[in-house]
Structure 1
Amino acid sequence: MVRYGKEHKLVTRRRIIETAGRRLKRDGIDGSGVATLMADAGLTNGAFYAHFGSKEDLVATTVADQLSGQREWLATMEPGRAGVEQIVRAYLAPEHRDNPGDGCPSAALLDEIGRCAEPTRQAYTDGMLAIIDDMAARLAPDDPAAARATVLSVYALMIGTLQLSRAVTDRRLADDLLDQGVRNALTLLAEY
């Protein structure tokens, strides 16, 4: 039996989480079994339990990781209000709509996360609130708490708009939904 070092185990775990993130966003939590997730990572099912106690453990970890990655992406945007507008426009872009496996875990998984056990919902809550707080701090650096409710509304609008634009079959309507979503979000943000 081959024993791997701690670094190898960490690299393998990271590979599982990253490939699970793409698969879960593409096929959903219920549509992604452990065997498929492990095959995506190039590993056997038996290796799964060396890294995670259950599929729910993997899902909670992956959701937290995906939201952390989204925060890192948000941090690359311009500072201040201009950055928040940049975030809205990038989020509600056709490229984001058309590539759910590379996009936001909220728009791809929110309906399923709501049906998950508490650890996954808590991982989502923590990550989502961190994103909201980051955006509120950009929007109102002197009083981010005052901007939090507005940012929550804008974030919800963005997620719902992206989900709706992915669900409709009419491409022109889908594009119009994204355009109107940008206008609506920017209108809500106008008070800051």
Structure 2
Amino acid sequence: MARYTKEHKQVTRQRIIERAGHRFKQDGIDGSGVSTLMSDAGLTNGAFYAHFESKDDLVANVVADQLRTQVESYGTLRPGREGLADFIREYLSPEHRDNPGDGCPSAALLDEIGRCGAGAKGAYTDGAKAIVQELAARLAPEDPQSARGRAIGLYTMVVGTLQLSRALSDRTFSDEVLEQGIANALAFVR
């Protein structure tokens, strides 16, 4: 039997992480069993432990990957505060609200990450710090540290707004929450 190359194993591992990220954000961490996650990646359950020590290990890797990808996506925004305004409008859009599996892991998984083990919490902490750092650099390019508190405020404002909008059964009210959230966040960063 031929052994897979190291590169093949890494590609397979990344495929599992990406598919699990989508599934976790769509159905929750607790609502996503290993068999479903592996099926999503086109693999058998037995292959799981060739890539991860446990589901907690997978969660930590998914969280790190999702937040790293999110920070990298900020590089496609326009520079400075214009880019922040674009970020706010995109983050608090009905499309983002309606497609949690393709969106921000914070808004989709924050409550579950709070109940996860140290690995997932550590990965989330590192990713959240990187996001805050990126937001602070856009708020005050000459001295990002001076804008750290405002960056934390902006991050918590948009995540909380999106979470609330997703929890509402009244679509009109949910849209109103998003629209007011955009107005509040834009005023906050001026």
TM-score normalised over the length of structure 2: 0.98
- Distance, in Å, in 2 between the alignment partners of 1:166 and 1:51 is 33
- Distance, in Å, in 1 between the alignment partners of 2:180 and 2:74 is 22
2:10 matched residue in structure 1: 10
1:121 matched residue in structure 2: 121
- Distance, in Å, in 2 between the alignment partners of 1:2 and 1:62 is 29
1:152 equivalent to 2:152? Answer yes
Residue deviations 1:24-71 (CA, integer Å, cap 9, x gap): 000000000111100000000110000000000000000000001111
Unaligned runs of 5+ in 1: none
Alignment of 1:31-42 (within 5 A): 31-42=31-42
Give the letter for the 2:175 counterpart: D
Give the letter for the 2:159 counterpart: I
2:95 matched residue in structure 1: 95
- Distance, in Å, in 1 between the alignment partners of 2:78 and 2:129 is 20
Unaligned runs of 5+ in 2: none
Residue deviations 1:163-191 (CA, integer Å, cap 9, x gap): 1101101111010000000111112112x
CA deviation after TM superposition for structure 1 residue 17, in Å: 0.4
1:78 equivalent to 2:72? Answer no
1:162 matched residue in structure 2: 162
1:24 matched residue in structure 2: 24
1:143 equivalent to 2:154? Answer no
Question: Which of structure 1's runs of 4+ aligned residues deviate more than 3 A?
Answer: none
Give the letter for the 1:164 counterpart: L
Give the letter for the 1:25 counterpart: K
- Distance, in Å, in 1 between the alignment partners of 2:75 and 2:136 is 13
* Partner secondary structure for residue 49 of structure 1: helix
1:45 matched residue in structure 2: 45
CA deviation after TM superposition for structure 1 residue 127, in Å: 0.4
- Distance, in Å, in 2 between the alignment partners of 1:173 and 1:12 is 42
- Distance, in Å, in 2 between the alignment partners of 1:46 and 1:10 is 17
CA deviation after TM superposition for structure 1 residue 2, in Å: 3.4
| Paired positions, count | 190
Residue deviations 1:106-130 (CA, integer Å, cap 9, x gap): 0000000000011100100100110
- Distance, in Å, in 2 between the alignment partners of 1:69 and 1:182 is 23
Residue deviations 1:61-111 (CA, integer Å, cap 9, x gap): 000000011111111100101111111111000010000000000000000
Identity of aligned residues (%): 64
Question: RMSD of aligned C-alpha atoms?
Answer: 0.7
